[in-house]
C-alpha cells in the first residue's frame, strides 16, 4: 500500500470522528437552548411599554445593573447586544432584547411586550399591528440594481 493512501485514510477517519463529536455537541447545545427558551417563556409576563430608544451596543456601555455584567461570561462582555430603553409606568429601564424581534420593535411607540426580568421575549402592537420596517439597501445591492436596470434599458 502506498504511504499517501495510508495518510489519506487516517485523515479521513480523523475528520469523520471530529465531525461526529461536533454533531453530538451541537445537538446537546441545541437541546439546552430549547430548554432554556421554554423556561423563559414559562415565567414571562405581559407588560405595556413605551419604547424610547433601541441600539446594538456593548454590555458595559448599556448602563445595565452590575449583577448582569458579573453573570455574563467574559468572552461575551465585549460583543454587541440589542438594547432597548423603555418606559414602564414612571420608570425608564434599559432592557435586553431577543435578536429575532429587535428589528420589529417600533421607536417612540407604545407596545405590549412579553418580558422576563430585563429580557424582552416578544412584542405585539398595543393599539394596532406592528409594521415591519424595510432594511436599507447596501452599496453592492444598489450597484447591482442599477446595473440590472441599465441592462434592461438597452
- Asked, for residue 99, whether it belongs to a domain, the answer is yes
Q: Do 19 and 49 fall within a single domain?
A: no
Question: Which position has the grid cell 453573570?
Answer: 71
Q: Do 13 and 51 fall within a single domain?
A: no
* Residue 65 pLDDT: 86
Give the three cell numbers for residue 60.
Answer: 458595559
* Residue 8 pLDDT: 95
- Asked, for residue 50, whether it belongs to a domain, the answer is yes
Q: Do 98 and 36 fall within a single domain?
A: no
Task: State which H helix or E strand residue 131 sits in.
Answer: none
By the 8 A CB rule, do 115 and 45 touch? Answer: yes
> Which residue ranges in the chain fall short of pLDDT 50?
none
- Asked, for residue 101, whether it belongs to a domain, the answer is yes
For the stretch 3-34, pLDDT in tens is: 899 999 999 999 999 999 999 999 999 999 99
Q: What is the DSSP letter of 108?
A: T
Q: Do 38 and 51 fall within a single domain?
A: no
- Asked, for residue 134, whether it belongs to a domain, the answer is no
Domain count, the chain: 2
Q: Do 54 and 104 fall within a single domain?
A: yes
- Asked, for residue 85, whether it belongs to a domain, the answer is yes
* Residue 134 pLDDT: 59
Q: Do 29 and 93 fall within a single domain?
A: no
* Residue 37 pLDDT: 85
* Residue 136 pLDDT: 74
Instruction: For residue 20, give its domain range.
Output: 1-42
HEC sequence for 52-104: EEEEEEECHHHCCCHHHHHHCCHHHCCCEEEEEEEEECCEEEEEEECCCCCCC
Q: Do 48 and 121 fall within a single domain?
A: yes
Amino acid at each position: 500500500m502506498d504511504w499517501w493512501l495510508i495518510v489519506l485514510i487516517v485523515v479521513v477517519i480523523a475528520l469523520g470522528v471530529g465531525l461526529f463529536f461536533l454533531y453530538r455537541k451541537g445537538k446537546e447545545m441545541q437541546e439546552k437552548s430549547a430548554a432554556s427558551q421554554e423556561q423563559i417563556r414559562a415565567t414571562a409576563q405581559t407588560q405595556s411599554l413605551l419604547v424610547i430608544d433601541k441600539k446594538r451596543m456593548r454590555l458595559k456601555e448599556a448602563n445595565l445593573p452590575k449583577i448582569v455584567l458579573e453573570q455574563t461570561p467574559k468572552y461575551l462582555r465585549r460583543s454587541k447586544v440589542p438594547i432597548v430603553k423603555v418606559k414602564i409606568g414612571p420608570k425608564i429601564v434599559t432592557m435586553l432584547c431577543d435578536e429575532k424581534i429587535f428589528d420589529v420593535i417600533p421607536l417612540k411607540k407604545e407596545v405590549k411586550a412579553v418580558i422576563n426580568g430585563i429580557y424582552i421575549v416578544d412584542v405585539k402592537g398595543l393599539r394596532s399591528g406592528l409594521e415591519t420596517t424595510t432594511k436599507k439597501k447596501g452599496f453592492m445591492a444598489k450597484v447591482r440594481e442599477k446595473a440590472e436596470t441599465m441592462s434592461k434599458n438597452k
